[in-house]
Amino acid sequence: MAVKVLLIDDSRFLRTALEKTLSGDGFEVRVAKDSEEGLRLAEQGEFDLIVLDLFQPKMIGQEIIKRLKENSTTSGIPLLVLSGTSYCLPKATLDLMSVVASMEELFDSGMPLPQFGETKGL
């Protein structure tokens, strides 16, 4: 059974690239073009992982993470945070929000995504 991933990113280019990459690696991917659509899809579907861009036009990533963690339907879904800027939330903040990894950690690990997910319990 394929790992179900929800990808929330306002960049059409990144959504398309990540969707193709993840789908090509055997993941089942749903995409949301903004935070509101992402929250709605997260509440409706049973996802194994949410990949979230921190900087969204309608709602910043911190608020999205907060809402996901406060909702009993979505609170247990691991989060992978990404951003198109060098700024990221401090690791301590991400840990408090139960974020499993940032893209920086993923790429620094040198592991392909499926293997990385296995090490994080996905």
pLDDT tens string, the chain, 122 residues long: the values are 788 999 998 888 888 888 998 888 889 999 999 989 999 999 997 899 999 887 777 777 778 888 998 999 998 888 887 765 545 555 555 554 555 555 555 545 554 544 444 444 44
* Amino acid 50: pLDDT: 92
Domain parsing of the chain, residue ranges: 4-119
Beta bridge partners of 81: 52, 102
* Amino acid 92: pLDDT: 52
Q: What is the largest CA-CA distance in the chain?
A: 35
* Amino acid 114: pLDDT: 47
User: What distance in Å separates the CA atoms of residue 5 and residue 111, rounded to the nearest whole number?
Assistant: 18
Helices 35-44 and 61-70 sit at what angle, rounded to 10 degrees?
Answer: 20
* Amino acid 19: pLDDT: 92
Question: 40-58 burial, b if ≥16 CB within 10 A, otherwise e?
Answer: ebbeeeebbbbbbbbebee
Q: Does domain 4-119 have CATH number 3.40.50.300?
A: no
Nearest-10 Cα torsion for 58, 78, 82, 60: 20
* Amino acid 116: pLDDT: 43
For residue 67, give the nearest of 100, 35, 92 by alpha carbon.
35
